[in-house]
Chain A
Amino acid sequence: MTYAPNIRIIRVMCSGRVAPQFVLKAFIEGADGVLISGCHPGDCHYQEGNYNALRRHRLLSKMLEQFGIERERFRLEWVSAAEGVKFQQICDEFTEQIKKLGPLNLNGGKDEHREA
């Protein structure tokens, strides 16, 4: 199975473990998109984890727009351990989408005007 090499995987125990701070850190350190992939609703080993991920995703997406980071750059998808093909498709499709949007250019939150 091959998929776009642009994706860097960070494995966590649960999509509910992905704190919003992690997502912000990924963006400021140069990621042009962030994909959170978790177990399907109802499948959570910890009961609630993926629902928490869903609630955070929707609220964080809205907030990221205020920072000028388009909704399309931050995605949440349910992919079970048995859905390799789905994961492959999502990675390819997301990579294409991000390529169309272009680089995020956050510049580490710095001000070229001052730092010049």
Chain B
Amino acid sequence: MSTEKPKVAFYWCASCGGCEEAVIDLAEDILKVVEAVDIVFWPVALDFKKKDVEAMKDGSIAVSFINGAVRLSEQEEMVKLLRQKSGLVVAFGSCSHLGGIPGLGNFWNKETIFRRAYITTPSTDNPDGTVPLEKTEVDGKELTLPRFYDTVYTLDQVIDVDYYLPGCAPPPDLIMNALQAILEGKLPPKGAVLSPNKSLCDDCKRNESKPEKLTIKEIKRPWEVELDPEKCFLAQGVICMGPATRTGCGERCIEANMPCRGCFGPTDQVIDQGAKFLSSLASILDTDDEKEIEKIVDTIVDPAGTFYRFSLPSSILRRRRMEDIK
């Protein structure tokens, strides 16, 4: 009988490192993980290289957990390699699931992002206006960098994905449940998001404080009001993505008296989280008068950035129209 433990890989693409932190946040449970599996690739923690992965047999990694969105050619290459070597691929966290915060880059393109990041930010000192190049000559030798795409992609827009672990970052209990399900072979149908399929409002303690008919006369940003720690945010005129967001996060933001920003993405019934939220928000604006409606809409400073904070690349439109960007 073979005593070989299942092999597991972790990889990061366009992400902040918070998802790696989430693995560490398993605390003592990480010992159970290490006992049950062999971690064969994890750039942030272990010294295995790309060539080690290349040397593995196709499909020999039981599961690869990949966090981060895909925005560089290098990331695309690595995730395609991991796909080939893995039995299962799990999109780990908001960025690989939906595009996440890096996905907001889809309101811009490569040129405008480089201009901002390397030239016009107040803290930048770059008199020659140097920006990263894919090829540079140095002492007769050619140095290369990965290609920076105009568009940020979700993981499943680049490779086939088996499961999704939502969240920024995914909470420890969902990670452990997913690991257990994988180890015991008790997985739901392919393509499932490994968190309950209902909206955050269903689990929210503040739901009881919600008035019978919820209406809003003016939209305020969280810093403009002293937030009541028990009252429904929407009833306080503050945008909370709860109605259009999947539950399972443990309401960490709500507990800290901050409204939901939507990192778990929509439920299975919804394609486009931002449009769905827009629809529900519009329905509770408390007026039938055209001018009044426009006045309230004016108080929503950045609808696209707010409704798609974590999900722009996974949305129906995916990105801002290219020819509009100058």
Q: Which residues of B contact A66 (CB under 8 A)?
A: 107, 302-305, 320
- Please measure, in the bound complex, the distance between the C-alpha atom of A41 and the C-alpha atom of B302, giving whole angstroms: 28
Q: Is the CB of B321 within 8 A of A19?
A: no
Partner pick for B323 among A25, A59, A60, A68, CB 8 A cutoff: A68
Write the nearest CB–CB distance from B116 to chain A, whole angstroms: 17
Main secondary structure, interface of A, reads helix
Partner pick for B317 among A54, A55, A67, CB 8 A cutoff: A67
Q: Is the CB of A62 within 8 A of B282?
A: no
- Nearest neighbor of A26 in chain B, beta-carbon distance: B316
Write the nearest CB–CB distance from B187 to chain A, whole angstroms: 29
- Nearest neighbor of A114 in chain B, beta-carbon distance: B149
Which B positions have Cβ atoms within 8 angstroms of A? 73, 76, 107, 110, 147, 149-151, 153, 270-272, 274-276, 278-279, 281-283, 285, 288, 290, 293-294, 297, 300, 302-305, 307, 315-325
Q: Is the CB of B278 within 8 A of A20?
A: yes
Which A positions have Cβ atoms within 8 angstroms of B? 19-21, 23-25, 27-28, 41, 51-52, 54-56, 58-60, 62-63, 66-69, 104-114
Partner pick for B297 among A21, A28, A59, CB 8 A cutoff: A59
Q: Is the CB of B321 within 8 A of A24?
A: no
Q: Is the CB of A68 within 8 A of B320?
A: yes
- Please measure, in the bound complex, the distance between the C-alpha atom of A10 and the C-alpha atom of B234, giving whole angstroms: 33
- Please measure, in the bound complex, the distance between the C-alpha atom of A20 and the C-alpha atom of B273, giving whole angstroms: 11
What are 8 pairs between A and B in contact, CB < 8 Å? Answer: A19-B275, A24-B272, A25-B316, A28-B316, A52-B283, A59-B281, A111-B319, A113-B149
- Please measure, in the bound complex, the distance between the C-alpha atom of A56 and the C-alpha atom of B90, giving whole angstroms: 36
- Please measure, in the bound complex, the distance between the C-alpha atom of A24 and the C-alpha atom of B325, giving whole angstroms: 19
Q: Which residues of B contact A56 (CB under 8 A)?
A: 278-279, 282-283
Q: Is the CB of A54 within 8 A of B290?
A: yes
- Please measure, in the bound complex, the distance between the C-alpha atom of A104 and the C-alpha atom of B276, giving whole angstroms: 23
Q: Is the CB of A69 within 8 A of B321?
A: yes
Q: Is the CB of B294 within 8 A of A58?
A: yes
Q: Is the CB of B288 within 8 A of A19?
A: no
Given A58-B297, A59-B282, A59-B297; A105-B323 close (CB under 8 Å): yes
- Nearest neighbor of A66 in chain B, beta-carbon distance: B304
- Nearest neighbor of A60 in chain B, beta-carbon distance: B278
Write the nearest CB–CB distance from A107 to chain B, whole angstroms: 7
Q: Is the CB of B321 within 8 A of A68?
A: yes
Write the nearest CB–CB distance from B43 to chain A, whole angstroms: 23
Given A21-B271, A111-B150; A63-B323 close (CB under 8 Å): no
Q: For the complex of A and B, list the 7 residue pairs with the smallest distance between their C-beta atoms, beginning with the closest.
A: A68-B324, A109-B318, A68-B321, A111-B151, A66-B304, A55-B282, A20-B275
- Please measure, in the bound complex, the distance between the C-alpha atom of A42 and the C-alpha atom of B257, giving whole angstroms: 40
Given A21-B272, A63-B278, A66-B304; A106-B317 close (CB under 8 Å): yes
- Please measure, in the bound complex, the distance between the C-alpha atom of A105 and the C-alpha atom of B317, giving whole angstroms: 12
Given A19-B279, A24-B317; A62-B272 close (CB under 8 Å): no
- Nearest neighbor of B307 in chain A, beta-carbon distance: A63
Given contacts A19-B275, A52-B283, A67-B319, 7 further A-B contacts (CB under 8 A): A21-B271, A21-B275, A54-B290, A56-B278, A67-B324, A106-B321, A111-B149
Q: Is the CB of A51 within 8 A of B288?
A: yes
Write the nearest CB–CB distance from A110 to chain B, whole angstroms: 7
Q: Which residues of A contact B278 (CB under 8 A)?
A: 20, 56, 59-60, 63
